[in-house]
Structure 1
Amino acid sequence: MIETIAAFCIRRRRPVAALIALLTVALSWFALHIEVRTVFEDMLPSRHEYVKTHQKFKDTFGGSNMVTIMLEVEQGDIFDPEVLEKVRTVTLGLREVSAVNPFQIISLASKKLKEVRASTDGIETRPLMWPDLPAGAGEIAELRQAVLRNPLVYGPYVSKDLQATLITVDFIDREVDYSKVFDEISALVRKVENGRVGVRVVGAPILYGWVEHYLPETLKLVAFALALTLAMLFLLLRTWRGVLLPLLAGAVSAIWALGICNLLGIHFEPLVIVVAMLITSRAVSHSVQIVNRFDDELEHIAEGSETSRQAARIALADLFRPGMVGVIADAACMAVVALSPIPMLQKLTVLAVVWVSTLTISAVILTPVLLSWIRRPHGTVHGVDLSPLLRGVLDFGLWMALSRFRYVVIVCSVLVLLGSGWYALKLKVGDANPGSPILWPQATYNRDSTAINDRFDGVDRLFVVVGEDGKEGLVKSNETLQAMNRFQRFMEVQPEIGGSISIADVVPVLNRTLREGNPRYEELGATAAVNGSLMAILESVSEPGDMDRFVDGHAANGSVTLMFRDRQGETIRTAMARIKEFIAANPLASGHWQLAGGLIGITAAMNEVILASQIEGVALALLVLMIICTMVYRSTVAGMLFMVPVIISNTLTFAFMAWKGIGMSINTVPVAALGIGLGVDYAFYVADRIKEEIAIGNTPEGAIRTSLHSAGMGVLVTASVLILSTLLWWASSLRFQAEMGLLMAIWLGISAMSALFVMPAVIYVFRPDFIFGGKESAVPGGGQARLQQA
Structure 2
Amino acid sequence: MSNPKHDKGEHYLTTPKAEPFLERLIFNNRAIILIVFFFLTLFLGYNAIKIQPDASFERMIPLEHPYIVNMLDHRDDLENLGNFVRIAVEVKEGDIFTKEYMETLKQITDEVFYLNGVDRSGLKSLWTSNVRWVEVTEQGFQGGTVIPDGYDGSRDSLEALRQNVLRSNEVGRLISDNFRSTIVYAPLYENNPETGEPLDYGTFSRQLEEKIRDKYGASNPNIEIHIVGFAKKVGDLIEGIGSIAYFAGITILLTTLLLYGYSRCISGTLVPVFSSIVAVFWQLGILKLLGYGLDPYSVLVPFLVFAIGISHGVQVVNAMAIEASKGFDPITAARLAFRALYIPGMLALISDAFGFLTLLFIQIDVIKDLAVAAGLGVAIVIITNLVLHPLIMSYIGITKGGIRHVQSHGEKQDRKWRVMSYFAHPGVAPVSLLIAVIGLGAGLYFKQGLKVGDLDQGAPELRADSRYNKDNAYIIDNYSTSADVLVVMVKTPEEQCTQYNVLRAMDSLQWELQNTPGVQSSASLADVSKIVTKALNEGNWKWYEISRNQTIINASIREAPAGLINTNCDLTPVLVFLEDHKAETLQTVVDRVEKFAENNSNEEHTFLLAAGNAGVEAATNEVISSAKNMMLAFVYGVVSFLCLLTFRSIRAVICIVTPLGLTSILCEAIMATSGIGIKVATLPVIALGVGIGVDYGIYIYTKLEKFILEGKALQEAYYETLRSTGKAVIFTGVTLGLGVVTWIFSPIKFQADMGFLLFFMFLWNMVGAIWLLPALARFLLRPDHMLAKARSKE
TM-score when scaled to structure 1?
A: 0.92
SS in 1 for 2:557: helix
CA distance in 2, matches of 1:131, 1:225: 62
- The answer to whether the aligner puts 1:549 opposite 2:563 as a matched pair is yes
Q: Which residue of structure 1 aligns with residue 171 of structure 2?
A: 154
- The answer to whether the aligner puts 1:33 opposite 2:59 as a matched pair is no
**How far is the alpha carbon of 1:232 from its aligned partner?**
1.4
**How far is the alpha carbon of 1:747 from its aligned partner?**
0.8
CA distance in 1, matches of 2:135, 2:454: 45
Higher mean C-alpha displacement, 89-98 vs 135-144 = 135-144
Q: Mark the CA change 1:393 to 1:223 in structure 2 (over 3 Å): closer, same or farther.
A: farther
- The answer to whether the aligner puts 1:434 opposite 2:457 as a matched pair is yes
Structure 1 runs not aligned, ≥5 long: 540-546, 780-790
Work out whether residues 236 and 387 of structure 1, in 8 Å CA contact, stay in contact via their aligned partners in 2: no
CA distance in 2, matches of 1:42, 1:392: 55
Q: Which amino acid aligns with 2:143?
A: T
Q: Which residue of structure 2 aligns with residue 782 of structure 1?
A: none
**How far is the alpha carbon of 1:362 from its aligned partner?**
0.8
Higher mean C-alpha displacement, 572-581 vs 400-409 = 400-409
Higher mean C-alpha displacement, 744-753 vs 691-700 = 691-700
Higher mean C-alpha displacement, 736-745 vs 640-649 = 640-649
**How far is the alpha carbon of 1:357 from its aligned partner?**
0.8
> What's the CA shift string for 1:466-519, capped at 9, x where partnerless?
122xx3332221222222223223213334332222222333343344445566
CA distance in 1, matches of 2:415, 2:216: 64
Q: Which residue of structure 1 aligns with residue 5 of structure 2?
A: none
Question: For 2:791, which of 776, 780, 789 is the aligned residue?
Answer: 776
**How far is the alpha carbon of 1:286 from its aligned partner?**
0.3
- The answer to whether the aligner puts 1:349 opposite 2:366 as a matched pair is no
- The answer to whether the aligner puts 1:464 opposite 2:481 as a matched pair is no
**How far is the alpha carbon of 1:588 from its aligned partner?**
4.5
Work out whether residues 645 and 679 of structure 1, in 8 Å CA contact, stay in contact via their aligned partners in 2: no
Question: For 1:247, which of 269, 273, 287 is the aligned residue?
Answer: 273
- The answer to whether the aligner puts 1:113 opposite 2:131 as a matched pair is yes
Q: Which residue of structure 1 aligns with residue 442 of structure 2?
A: 419
Equivalent residues in 2 for 1:709-720, closer than 5 Å: 709-720=723-734
> What's the CA shift string for 1:389-409, capped at 9, x where partnerless?
976764442233336222201
Work out whether residues 650 and 679 of structure 1, in 8 Å CA contact, stay in contact via their aligned partners in 2: no
Work out whether residues 337 and 673 of structure 1, in 8 Å CA contact, stay in contact via their aligned partners in 2: yes
CA distance in 2, matches of 1:708, 1:575: 55
Q: Mark the CA change 1:16 to 1:72 in structure 2 (over 3 Å): closer, same or farther.
A: same
Q: Which residue of structure 2 aligns with residue 692 of structure 1?
A: 706
Q: Which amino acid aligns with 1:648?
A: L
Higher mean C-alpha displacement, 255-264 vs 509-518 = 509-518
- The answer to whether the aligner puts 1:499 opposite 2:517 as a matched pair is no
Q: Which amino acid aligns with 1:18?
A: I
- The answer to whether the aligner puts 1:340 opposite 2:358 as a matched pair is no
> What's the CA shift string for 1:661-702, capped at 9, x where partnerless?
111111222221121112211111111011122233344333
Q: Which amino acid aligns with 1:87?
A: L
SS in 2 for 1:358: helix
> What's the CA shift string for 1:694-724, capped at 9, x where partnerless?
2333443332111112211101112222211
Q: Mark the CA change 1:30 to 1:375 in structure 2 (over 3 Å): closer, same or farther.
A: closer
**How far is the alpha carbon of 1:26 from its aligned partner?**
1.8
Q: Which amino acid aligns with 1:329?
A: S
Higher mean C-alpha displacement, 522-531 vs 319-328 = 522-531
Higher mean C-alpha displacement, 130-139 vs 66-75 = 130-139
Q: Which residue of structure 2 aligns with residue 524 of structure 1?
A: 546
Matched length: 764
CA distance in 2, matches of 1:757, 1:134: 79
CA distance in 1, matches of 2:133, 2:273: 67
Work out whether residues 646 and 679 of structure 1, in 8 Å CA contact, stay in contact via their aligned partners in 2: yes
Q: Which residue of structure 1 aligns with residue 316 of structure 2?
A: 290
Question: For 1:620, which of 628, 631, 634 is the aligned residue?
Answer: 634
- The answer to whether the aligner puts 1:479 opposite 2:521 as a matched pair is no
Q: Mark the CA change 1:129 to 1:5 in structure 2 (over 3 Å): closer, same or farther.
A: same
Question: For 2:204, which of 175, 181, 190 is the aligned residue?
Answer: 181
Work out whether residues 712 and 756 of structure 1, in 8 Å CA contact, stay in contact via their aligned partners in 2: yes
CA distance in 1, matches of 2:251, 2:419: 29
Q: Which residue of structure 2 aligns with residue 448 of structure 1?
A: 471
- The answer to whether the aligner puts 1:89 opposite 2:89 as a matched pair is no
CA distance in 2, matches of 1:205, 1:449: 13
SS in 1 for 2:574: strand
Q: Which residue of structure 2 aligns with residue 788 of structure 1?
A: none
> What's the CA shift string for 1:438-470, capped at 9, x where partnerless?
1111111111111211222211222111122xx
Q: Mark the CA change 1:119 to 1:436 in structure 2 (over 3 Å): closer, same or farther.
A: closer
> What's the CA shift string for 1:507-533, capped at 9, x where partnerless?
334334444556665543343331112
SS in 1 for 2:497: helix
Q: Which residue of structure 1 aligns with residue 59 of structure 2?
A: 42
Q: Which residue of structure 1 aligns with residue 748 of structure 2?
A: 734
Q: Mark the CA change 1:434 to 1:234 in structure 2 (over 3 Å): closer, same or farther.
A: same
Q: Mark the CA change 1:383 to 1:631 in structure 2 (over 3 Å): closer, same or farther.
A: closer
Q: Which residue of structure 2 aligns with residue 7 of structure 1?
A: 24
CA distance in 1, matches of 2:671, 2:550: 53
**How far is the alpha carbon of 1:383 from its aligned partner?**
9.4
Q: Mark the CA change 1:777 to 1:313 in structure 2 (over 3 Å): closer, same or farther.
A: farther
Work out whether residues 464 and 597 of structure 1, in 8 Å CA contact, stay in contact via their aligned partners in 2: yes
Q: Which has the higher contact order (CA 8 A, sep 6+)?
A: 1
SS in 1 for 2:566: coil
Work out whether residues 77 and 571 of structure 2, in 8 Å CA contact, stay in contact via their aligned partners in 1: no
Structure 1 outlier segments of 4+, above 6 Å: 381-392
Q: Which amino acid aligns with 1:197?
A: I
CA distance in 2, matches of 1:607, 1:518: 44
CA distance in 1, matches of 2:637, 2:718: 28
CA distance in 2, matches of 1:148, 1:387: 83
Work out whether residues 476 and 532 of structure 1, in 8 Å CA contact, stay in contact via their aligned partners in 2: yes
Q: Mark the CA change 1:376 to 1:502 in structure 2 (over 3 Å): closer, same or farther.
A: closer
CA distance in 2, matches of 1:395, 1:576: 59
CA distance in 2, matches of 1:386, 1:154: 75
CA distance in 2, matches of 1:325, 1:99: 47
Q: Mark the CA change 1:233 to 1:534 in structure 2 (over 3 Å): closer, same or farther.
A: same
Work out whether residues 10 and 312 of structure 1, in 8 Å CA contact, stay in contact via their aligned partners in 2: no
CA distance in 1, matches of 2:417, 2:470: 48
Work out whether residues 71 and 87 of structure 1, in 8 Å CA contact, stay in contact via their aligned partners in 2: yes
Q: Which residue of structure 2 aligns with residue 397 of structure 1?
A: 420
Q: Mark the CA change 1:316 to 1:525 in structure 2 (over 3 Å): closer, same or farther.
A: same
SS in 2 for 1:97: coil
Q: Which residue of structure 2 aligns with residue 99 of structure 1?
A: 117
CA distance in 2, matches of 1:297, 1:171: 63
**How far is the alpha carbon of 1:296 from its aligned partner?**
0.8
**How far is the alpha carbon of 1:601 from its aligned partner?**
1.0
